[in-house]
Amino acid sequence: KAVNAIVLLEQVIERVSLDAGNKQQHICRNLPAEAIVIPLDPHRMTQVFLNLLLNAVRYTPEGGTITVSAKREAAALHKLDRSDVHVLSVTISDTGSGIAPDQLPHLFNRFYRTDEARSRHTGGTGLGLAIAQELVLAHGGSIDVESVLGEGTSFVVRLPLNPNDSALV
Ligand code: ATP
Ligand code: MG
């Protein structure tokens, strides 16, 4: 199904705005004015962005900032390194607790939670990112994380704009 991913992102932001507002967090939108229409399953991709945004809200202290950016980009999605693959690149960044470098490689594992998350009793089962990664891979995309402890975290989801590129996985 072809969906305007920008509208989908706006809807997901809307769904977390109450939770963010309760923590005095600001959600900053850095979205293109024009549509980016892309073949995807709207329910599954909503789940992906909802999991990432709910994490950003949960692991960012009161008054923090969450930024959602989206743009078209030429990228090498996979090992085949075809740099001419056109993707939608969505970045969700926060000014939260950050994640220690030694914990980053385990983040997408089922039931994995960092020491920080477990000690603060923030709730959660450790499944959100595992599910998000599974759904993104099923769309022929990629998901990556960068984080600086004490400064914040960014997740980048890249999805192929052309359905034929999905076969690259
Ligand atoms: P669930 O999503 O199942 O309710 P969860 O949020 O603990 O539970 P994941 O979404 O899979 O599980 O995230 C795994 C762990 O990664 C979290 O427990 C937390 O330690 C860490 N994490 C995820 N997102 C962030 C973030 N934005 N900032 C800091 N740590 C994060
Ligand atoms: Mg989660």
Q: Is residue 153 lining ligand 1, measured as CB closer than 6 Å?
A: yes
Percent of the chain as helix, strand, coil, to the nearest 5: 35, 30, 35
Contact 130, 110 (CB under 8 A): yes
Q: Do the bridges between strand 26-30 and strand 65-75 make them parallel or antiparallel, or are there none, so unpaired? A: parallel
- CA nearest ligand 1 atom 22, residue: 55
Distance 153 CA to ligand 1 centre (A): 11
* pLDDT digit string, tens, across residues 46-75: 999 999 999 999 999 999 999 999 999 988
Q: Is residue 139 lining ligand 1, measured as CB closer than 6 Å?
A: no
Distance 163 CA to ligand 2 centre (A): 28
Q: Cα separation of 100 and 127, whole Å?
A: 19
- The closest-lying atom of ligand 1 relative to the alpha carbon of residue 92 is 27
Distance 119 CA to ligand 1 centre (A): 13
DSSP character at residue 105: G
Q: Residue 117: what pLDDT?
A: 77
Q: Is residue 42 lining ligand 1, measured as CB closer than 6 Å?
A: no
pTM over 0.90: yes
DSSP string computed for 124-158 = --S-HHHHHHHHHHHTT-EEEEEEETTTEEEEEEE
What phi-psi label fits residue 3: left (phi over 0), alpha (psi between -120 and 50 degrees) or beta?
Answer: beta
Contact 138, 159 (CB under 8 A): no
Is the sign of the CA dihedral 27, 17, 51, 77 positive or negative?
negative
Reported ipTM exceeds the 0.95 cut: yes
Residue 167: pLDDT above 70? Answer: no
Amino acid type, 109: N
Q: Report percent pLDDT > 70 for the chain.
A: 92
Distance 122 CA to ligand 1 centre (A): 10
Return the minimum-mean-pLDDT range out of 25-34, 65-74, 92-101, 156-165. Answer: 156-165
How many whole angstroms from its chain centre is CA 28?
14
Query: Across the strands, what pairs with 146?
Result: 154
Q: Cα separation of 39 and 161, whole Å?
A: 7
Assign 169 a pLDDT band (cuts: 50, 70, 90): very low
Q: Residue 61: what pLDDT?
A: 95
Q: Is residue 94 lining ligand 1, measured as CB closer than 6 Å?
A: yes
Q: Cα separation of 161 and 163, whole Å?
A: 6
- CA nearest ligand 1 atom 20, residue: 114
